[in-house]
Amino acid sequence: MTDMPPLSNLAAIDAAHHLHPFSDMKQLNAKGARVIQRAEGVHIYDSTGRKYLDAFAGLWCVNVGYGRKSIADAAYKQMQELPYYNTFFGTTTEPAALLAQKIASHTGENLKRVFFTNSGSEATDTWFRMARVYWKALGKPEKTLVIARKNAYHGSTVAGASLGGMKLMHEQGNLPIEGIHHINQPYWYAEGGDLSPAEFGLKVARELEAKIDELGEERVAAFVAEPIQGAGGVIIPPETYWPEIARICKARNILLVADEVICGFGRLGHWFGHQYYGFEPDLAPIAKGLSSGYLPIGGVLVSDRVADVMVEELGDFYHGFTYSGHPVCAAAALENIRIIEEEGLVERVRDDIGPYFAAAWKSLEDHAVVGEAESVGLIGGLQLAADKSTRRRYAKPDDIGSLVRNHCLENGLILRATGDRMLASPALTISRSEVDEVIEKLRAALDHLRDSVSG
């Protein structure tokens, strides 16, 4: 320990040598990165000893909360016994096989196989290739196009950023790659106009049908969407949306891909987001809550429809990662899921803390600058509005969101802002009094916005 640099130097060392993801490095280096040192429950502590309530579970991922010694123990034990072996050419490991079985015990009856990756982005690249390989194996090699949504997030690899609908990401690296098309998102507040949410949900779902017709059904391989759009601002679709999407995918014979990277593992009060919405995907990337972020691991849930073709028709799938099914990550994920089961966290979100959070979050709608505050389970999106009676938004959405987020941060609360939406995604273990604290601090930040900015 004595060789460690003093903590006050860490920000300087970091500025000199560490390039961060999704960061303006010039700004960050001038300010110095906040050094996060330890964490327990829903709280994180920085190097100055300041304590924050992390209402974002790291990056939507620490579902079981921080400080779980049993996950550390499981990883330690596995690392001593077998720190690494691959799952490539005819071998497997106990944690990888048992984790696949464990995940399958929480999926529908047609979603029983898993392909492991190290991240959600790799999971995206994996299903993207699988979908094309599937149709080719069925004698339809021209079925290659994928339809995704504007403002979606599916990761940062080339396929992930291409499938995502983030304009700023597309501008960096000449994306999207060929063969990807985007339709509108079910964001009623901003784009619903005079339609009711139910009407709007149907309208945007039917854009999928129109796009398939435009491209030709025989050329479209798949449609992908997050059950609830996360990074795009926690966009919760109207109830009419998913049933119509599922109907269209079935009628037009294209694969339905549910990106479960955020919604999976209890966040919506069900094991998976598609279960909450009552549809069955053909492929479903997972990551984040799979290990609660304790170690990196992701995967793709593969339906019998696709898996049977891959197993029976394809031969080799020339795809995989050195660390696919990494035994230590798999052991940590197994223990994470054991905790979720043992503590009944999915049911807790569905029946107890989820409804409590929903009522508390919704109560913010009485605030002058809040257009809408919606949630499902433990994911919430709050729309800031300059004039709630007309759904008029602030002129500079990014500045407004940052203002609220920074006020929260100064008061020891971590929330995220996407444009003029405030996002919450706390650990599934958050207590009622901690939820109260989130609401109280957010309300103070909303007061600050109301008092300091005129629409």
Ligand X SMILES: *Cc1c(COP(=O)(O)O)cnc(C)c1O
Residue recorded with tokens 């435009």: 214
Among residues 410, 445, 444, which one has the least CA distance to residue 53?
A: 410
DSSP string, 244-288: HHHHHHHHTT-EEEE--TTTTTTTTSSSSHHHHHT---SEEEE-G
| Residues that contact ligand X, how many (by CB under 6 A) | 16
In angstroms, the CA 51 to CA 44 distance is 6
**Interface with ligand X (CB under 6 A), residue from 165, 186, 192, 230:** 230
State the minimum distance, in angstroms, from the CB of residue 265 to ligand X: 12
Residue recorded with tokens 């600050």: 448
**Interface with ligand X (CB under 6 A), residue from 226, 244, 372, 437:** 226
Nearer to ligand X (CB atom), residue 29 or residue 291: 291
Cis? peptide before 243, omega within 30° of 0: no
- Taking CB positions, which residue lies at the least distance from ligand X? 120
Residue partners of 27: CB distance under 8 A and separation at least 6: none
State the minimum distance, in angstroms, from the CB of residue 434 to ligand X: 23
**205 neighbors 245 (Cβ within 8 angstroms):** yes
Q: Kindly provide the b/e burial profile for residues 357-383, where b requires at least 16 CB atoms within 10 angstroms of the residue's own CB.
A: bbebbbebeebebbbbbbbbbbbbbbb
Nearer to ligand X (CB atom), residue 371 or residue 381: 381
231 binds ligand X (CB under 6 A): yes
372 binds ligand X (CB under 6 A): no
State the minimum distance, in angstroms, from the CB of residue 156 to ligand X: 6
Q: For the segment 330-349, give every residue that binds ligand X (CB under 6 A).
A: none
Q: Choose the stretch contacting ligand X; rule: CB under 6 A; options: 68-76, 92-100, 151-159, 380-388.
A: 151-159
* Axis crossing angle, helix 327-342 with helix 94-104, rounded to the nearest 10: 40
**Interface with ligand X (CB under 6 A), residue from 155, 201, 227, 233:** 155
424 binds ligand X (CB under 6 A): no
125 binds ligand X (CB under 6 A): no
Interface characters, 92-121, with ligand X (x: CB under 6 A)? ---------------------------xxx
Instruction: Tell whether the torsion through CA atoms of 153, 154, 157 and 161 is positive or negative.
Output: negative
State the minimum distance, in angstroms, from the CB of residue 301 to ligand X: 14
State the minimum distance, in angstroms, from the CB of residue 120 to ligand X: 2
State the minimum distance, in angstroms, from the CB of residue 261 to ligand X: 4
**220 neighbors 254 (Cβ within 8 angstroms):** yes
Nearer to ligand X (CB atom), residue 298 or residue 397: 298
* Chain CA centroid to CA 98, Å: 24
Nearer to ligand X (CB atom), residue 95 or residue 160: 160
**Interface with ligand X (CB under 6 A), residue from 66, 153, 187, 188:** 153
Q: For the segment 262-291, give every residue that binds ligand X (CB under 6 A).
A: 262, 287
385 binds ligand X (CB under 6 A): no
Question: What size, in residues, is the chain?
Answer: 455
- Does residue 154 sit in helix, strand or coil? coil
Binding site for ligand X (CB under 6 A): 60, 119-121, 124, 153-155, 226, 230-231, 259, 261-262, 287, 298
